[in-house]
Amino acid sequence: MLHHEADHRANHSQPNQTTKKKERILVVDQDALTCDFLANIIKLLGCEFEIINSADEALEILEKTAFDLLIADFHLPNSKQLLETSLQKHPQLQTICMIQHRQIFFEALRLPGAAFVPKPFNFDDIVQKIHQAIHHKNLQQIENDFRRLRQEFFRL
């Protein structure tokens, strides 16, 4: 089941005060309360998002659509494959992995480049992780732009 930002927006749309590109976040979880909680947080942060309920569907969507951040429940079926594949095929994609059980945490630690948050999580923890992921993504973009500009400059 695919949910878009508009599904959660109702009549609370806010005017875009800048022309900056909004970050796009893909949330993968089966728990409706978690999805609603994350949707509200992501809206407050001014990001665009999609919420889906399966790791397999997330893999399909990631092949067609670019996202800046993936937030996924590690406990879902095929979630390990989702995280491994997304880290291999989309190394620029920031990833936050929601962990429910301590023994799964140690398995998830083997995934390089993923941040972790215990589930259930509190507001401050998840907001901090999202901010860190977006900040890291923006720093990567600045670094890539700098490299590209430097290469163009030295070609002249």
What pTM did the predictor assign?
A: 0.77
CATH number of the domain enclosing 150: 3.40.50.2300
Whether residue 132 lies inside any domain: the answer is yes
- What CA–CA distances, in Å, run from 115 to 8, 20, 47, 128? 26, 25, 19, 11
Q: Is pLDDT above 50 for 18?
A: no
DSSP-assigned letter for residue 21 = P
Q: Is 58 buried (19+), middle (13-18) or exposed (0-12) by CB count in 10 A?
A: buried
* Average pLDDT of the chain, as a whole number: 83
Asked if the structure places residue 14 within a domain, the reply is no
Instruction: Tell me: pLDDT of 6 over 50.
Output: no
Burial of 98 (0-12, 13-18, 19+ CB in 10 A): buried
Total structural domains in the chain? Answer: 1
Beta carbons of 59 and 92 less than 8 angstroms apart:
no
